[in-house]
Amino acid sequence: MTAPSTPSPSRTGMRFPDQPVYSGWSTPSRIEADIFEIEADGEIPRDLRGRYYQIAPDPAFPNRTGDDLPFNGDGMLRMFTFADGHVDYRSRYVQTEKLKLERAARRSLFGAYRNPYTDHVTVAGKNRGAANTSVIFHGGKLLVLKEDARPTRIDTDSLETYGEWDFDGGVSSPTFTAHPRVDPVTGEMFAFGFEAKGLASRDIAYYVLDAHGKVLHEVWLEAPYTSMIHDFVVTMTM
């Protein structure tokens, strides 16, 4: 009788490699938690009431390429709730298509940032958005943003992921800036999507949305060459 072979550790377990991208301030926490009554140094003002939301990359798995960039990690959303001199905490991964596919496989399936040619064949054509760059509240909705996908809508209380948000069909671009600008007077939001007709395309979609999240204006532009566009500024001339 032959004894069963010992499974390979690389196939039964998972460890992040000893690399700078997974160490120091960018060490993955991978912790989804609820903490009632956070300890605090000093005194929290009793009239401070509301919620503070924070999003950051927190890779659930080491990247399949063997290396990675910090801003390619999965989005971990954190919420601090303040009331009557107390503060509670909640953290949840944004349940993107990317994260759900990788959790089902228990390993990384998506490769290098903005390079689907490094993805596993089983996820070809799937949404690579990690929802990890910024979080905004607009038109009564909490949205998590990353510029290579549309916004992801999140429940303001439970942090449950509702899914991709296209502003009731108003945004046709598959990408949407992580840093939209909001007019403090009118509440209008200005945004864009680059590579808006697919990877390496020169197309840019520009949007103006009202304070309720309705698209007022959409215009398509073509840049002289393909480029990542991370941020922009809107000014007004008198």
Tell me whether residue 3 is in a domain: no
pLDDT of the residue at 3:
45
pLDDT of the residue at 225:
95
| Distance from the Cα of residue 154 to its chain's centroid | 11
pLDDT under 50 in the chain at which residues? Answer: 1-10
Total number of domains constituting the chain: 2
Based on the domain organization, do 96 and 116 belong to the same domain?
Answer: yes
pLDDT in tens, 43-67: 999 999 999 999 999 999 999 999 8
pLDDT of the residue at 114:
86
Based on the domain organization, do 171 and 161 belong to the same domain?
Answer: no
DSSP classification of residue 78: E
Based on the domain organization, do 143 and 215 belong to the same domain?
Answer: no
pLDDT of the residue at 238:
67
- Which range of residues forms the domain containing residue 186? 167-238
Of 124, 129, 127, which Cα lies nearest the Cα of 143? 129
pLDDT of the residue at 235:
84
* Cα dihedral value 14, 19, 25, 29, nearest 10: 0
pLDDT of the residue at 14:
86
Entry pTM: 0.90
How many other CB atoms are found less than 10 A from the CB of residue 142? 22
